[in-house]
Structure 1
Amino acid sequence: MSTRTFRVTVRGVFDDLTEAQRADLLARAGEHDVLHAAFTAEGQMTYDIAARTAFTFRLQDSGEAEEDILLAEMRAEDAAKAWLDTRGYGYRNLRTQAQDLSQAPLAKRQRRAAG
């Protein structure tokens, strides 16, 4: 079996932030800017707290079987919760979505190169 790569996105909303937490998020906003977003093995949090309280956590995972995508979703959601819980940030409305890159359609340029 070949290894499949999964890109998992966990979206949610910060909840019941204190003024100190909001100030901390604002101070660290540059480290979590969406312009630097990437899918990583550790997971990466992005947000724009000045605009809205929503966040996105991106994680790259892998597996060998199609069913492994469900495990990747659970690991990503657990990693996002751990990131938030460690910092004491409340959250709600978590939604998790995964994409199996082996099933993703090729871009026009990739199809041309392959064919």
Structure 2
Amino acid sequence: MTTRTFRIMVRGVFDGLTDAQRAELLAEAPRHDVLHAAFTREGHLSYDLTARTAFTFRFLDEGEEEEDILLATERAEQAARAWLDERGYGCRNLRSQAEDLSQAPLGKRQRRAAQSPR
């Protein structure tokens, strides 16, 4: 059986932040800049509070069956909620989007490499 790699994005909006929480997030903002965004097993958070209160967690997970993407998405949402809850950050409009990389279309270079003789 082959292993499938899943990329999951959990998006939402910070809600009801106190001044102290906002200051805390702004102090940590360089670590969470979208330019450093990456899909990781533990999840990577990115946001830009100076522009808007939206955030995105990016998770990387694996499974063996196509249906495993549902469990991976559920784990990602739970991890995002846990991170927010541990810090007392309120959120709203939490939603997820998942992609099975084994189903992703090949890019131009990948198609060329697949067609070239070895």
Shorter-chain TM-score: what band? Answer: over 0.9
Please name the residue that 2:44 is paired with. 44
Instruction: Determine what percentage of the aligned residue pairs are the same residue.
Output: 75
- What are the residue-to-residue correspondences of 1:1-115 with 2, within 5 Å? 1-115=1-115
Unaligned runs of 5+ in 2: none
Structure 1: which amino acid aligns with 2:55? Answer: F
Q: Does the residue aligned with 1:85 lie in a helix, a strand or coil?
A: helix
SS of the residue aligned with 1:102? helix
SS at match of 1:28: helix
> So what's the TM-score if we normalise by structure 1?
0.99
Matches of 1:10 and 1:41, distance apart in 2: 13
**For this pair of structures, how many residues does the alignment match?**
115
Give the Å deviation of 1:9.
0.3
Q: CA deviation at 1:90?
A: 0.3
Ranges in structure 1 where 5+ consecutive residues have no aligned partner: none
Which one has the largest radius of gyration? 2
Counterpart Cα distance in 2 of 1:58 and 1:82: 14
Q: Return the letter of the residue paired with 2:57.
A: F
Q: Distance between the aligned counterparts of 1:113 and 1:3, measured in 2? A: 22
State the 4+ residue runs in structure 1 displaced beyond 3 angstroms. none
TM (normalized to structure 2)? Answer: 0.96
Deviations 1:16-51 (A, max 9, x none): 000000011001000100000000000011000111
SS of equivalent to 1:50: coil
| Secondary structure of 2:84's aligned partner | helix
1:18 aligned partner, one-letter code: T
Distance in 2 between the 1:107 and 1:114 partners? 10
Q: Secondary structure at the match of 1:51?
A: coil
